[in-house]
Amino acid sequence: MIESLPISIGLFIVAAFVIAVVGVRMSRVCDRLADRTGWGEAVMGAVFLGGSTSLSGIVTSVTAAADGHAELAISNAVGGIAAQTAFLAIADIFYAKANLEHAAASIANLVQGTLLMTLLAIPMLAMSSPQVDLWGIHPATIILITAYVMGLRLVSRSQETRMWSPRQTKETNIDEPDETAKNSSLTKLWLKFVCYAIIVAVAGFIIARAGVSLASLTGISESVVGGLFTAITTSLPELVTTIAAVRQGALSLGVGGVIGGNCFDLMLLAFSDVAYRQGSIYGAIANRQVFVMSLTILMTGVLLLGLLRREKHGIGNIGFESLLILLLYASGVVMLLLPAGSSS
C-alpha cells in the first residue's frame, strides 16, 4: 500500500488520464476488429473489450485473496459489476439520437444480461450451501467458469441463428461492418489492441493501488473499500471505453463491453477462490456483499426491461430505465456507507 497521500492522489490522476486517452483509442481499434474479423461488436465487446478492461480488477481481487483479505477481494469483484452497470446508464447521456436501451437492443445483449443474472446467483447459492472444497477450491468455482464459457457460446450462436431480433426503427443502431475496415491489417489491429490493453491494465492497477491507499488511510472497512473505492476505480477503464464506443456509434460494442465485462468480472470470484488458501472464499461472503449482488441483479433486470421495452426518448436525453439504474446505484452507495447494523 502507498503510504503517502499526495503520491496516491498524483498517481491516481495520472493513471486516470492515461486510461482516458488510451481507452478511447482501444475502443476504436476494437470496433475495427469487430468488423475485420466478422465477429460483431457484441462478441468483441463481451470477450475482448470487457475482458481487457477487467485485468486491473482481477489483479486487485486475486492479490487481496492471496493475502487473506477475502472480504476486500469479494467486494471489489461484485462492487465493480454494480458500478459498471451504472456506467452504462451514464453512457446513455452521451448518445443524443435516442435512448441507448432502444438503439442498442439486440439478442446478444439480452442473452448476456440473462447470463449475468444467472452467474450472480451461483456465488449466492455457494455462500448459503455447505462449505465443501477440493484442495481449497469450492465446486461453485468450476460451475462459474463452465457456465461463463457456455454462456459465451450462447451469445455467439444467438448472433448466427437470429431466432429473435428487435423491430427495426430509424433510431435502431444496426451492427454493420465498415467497408473501410477490410483495408486494415488484422495483425496491426491485434498488436495495437494488445498494447492498449496492457497500458490500460497497468494504469488500472495503479489506480486500484492508489484507491486502496486513499481509502485505507481513512480507516474505512474492507467492504466499503472494496465495494466502492477499488470497485469504482478499477472500473474506470470500462467507463471510458463505453462512453468512447457510444460516442463513435458502436453501441453494441459499448453495451456488450459492459454486460460482457460484468460476466467476466464474476470470474474474479473464481480466481480469488483459487488464490484464497483459508478454505472456500464463498464462505466469507458477508451481508454487504449479498446486498451488492442483489442490487446488481435488480439493476440488470431493469436494464433488460429497458432493452425489451425500448423507449425511444426520455426526460433529459436519458431513458427511464437508465435513470432508475442510477437511482438504485446511488441508493445502494448510501446504504453501504451507513454503519453496519444501522436502521436509519
Per domain, the residue ranges of the chain are 5-173+184-337
Which pLDDT score is estimated for 298?
94
Per-residue pLDDT band at 301 (split at 50, 70, 90): very high
More confident residue, 99 or 266: 266
Alpha-carbon distance of 17 to 235, in angstroms, equals 14
More confident residue, 122 or 65: 122
Which pLDDT score is estimated for 336?
79
270 has a pLDDT exceeding 60: yes
- State the pTM of this model: 0.77
Which pLDDT score is estimated for 294?
92
- Tell me the mean pLDDT in the region 217-228: 65
275 has a pLDDT exceeding 80: yes
Lowest mean pLDDT among 172-181, 190-199, 297-306: 172-181
Contacts of 320 (CB under 8 A, 6+ apart): 306, 311, 314
Residue 146 identity: T
153 has a pLDDT exceeding 70: yes
Lowest mean pLDDT among 66-75, 139-148, 152-161, 322-331: 152-161
Answer for the pair 273, 137: CB distance below 8 angstroms, yes or no.
Answer: yes
201 has a pLDDT exceeding 60: yes
**CATH code reported for the domain at 5-173+184-337:** 1.20.1420.30
* Cα angle, residue 94 at apex, residues 311 and 43 outer, rounded to 5°: 75
Helices 320-337 & 70-93 angle (0-180, nearest 10): 150
Alpha-carbon distance of 331 to 335, in angstroms, equals 6
Which pLDDT score is estimated for 71?
80
Which pLDDT score is estimated for 225?
65
Which pLDDT score is estimated for 343?
39
H runs (alpha helix) in the chain: 5-37, 41-44, 50-53, 55-66, 70-93, 100-103, 107-128, 139-161, 186-216, 222-224, 231-234, 236-247, 251-265, 267-275, 287-309, 320-337
The torsion region of residue 38 among left (phi > 0), alpha (psi -120 to 50) and beta comes to: left
Q: What is the mean pLDDT of the chain?
A: 78
Lowest mean pLDDT among 79-88, 153-162, 281-290: 153-162
Per-residue pLDDT band at 166 (split at 50, 70, 90): low
How crowded is the C-beta side of 49, counted as CA atoms within 13 Å? Answer: 40
- Tell me the mean pLDDT in the region 30-56: 73
More confident residue, 260 or 231: 260
